[in-house]
Amino acid sequence: MSLLIGVKEAEFTFIKEKTAATAGNLSVQVQKLKEAGYIEVTKQFKDNYPQTLCKVTPAGINAFEAYVKVLQEYIKK
């Protein structure tokens, strides 16, 4: 989520490279975030190759901001 917050939209392969996650692990995480309504996933073709784009939703931004706020409160204690 923190990666997507910074770029707003990213290809699956970009996220995979930046997080050093396996394709399988990342697929599971993307699916969970999609089901929670935190990201939108668009599957399309680019130059005859499949392309998966992930984009953070307003609900995802709100949830991430709430998460950061909770972490900040925890650190203050």
Residues of the chain with pLDDT under 70: none
Which pTM value belongs to this model? Answer: 0.85
Number of domains comprising the chain: 1
Positive or negative torsion for Cα 11, 14, 19, 24: positive
Would you state the pLDDT for residue 10?
96
Would you state the pLDDT for residue 77?
80
Residue 29: count other Cβ atoms within 10 Å of its Cβ.
15
Residue 62 CA to chain centroid, in angstroms? Answer: 13
Distances (CA, A) of 62 to 23, 25, 74: 27, 24, 18
| CA pair distance 44, 25, nearest whole angstrom | 21
CATH number, domain of 71, equals 1.10.10.10
Residue 19 CA to chain centroid, in angstroms? Answer: 11
Positive or negative torsion for Cα 72, 3, 36, 28: negative
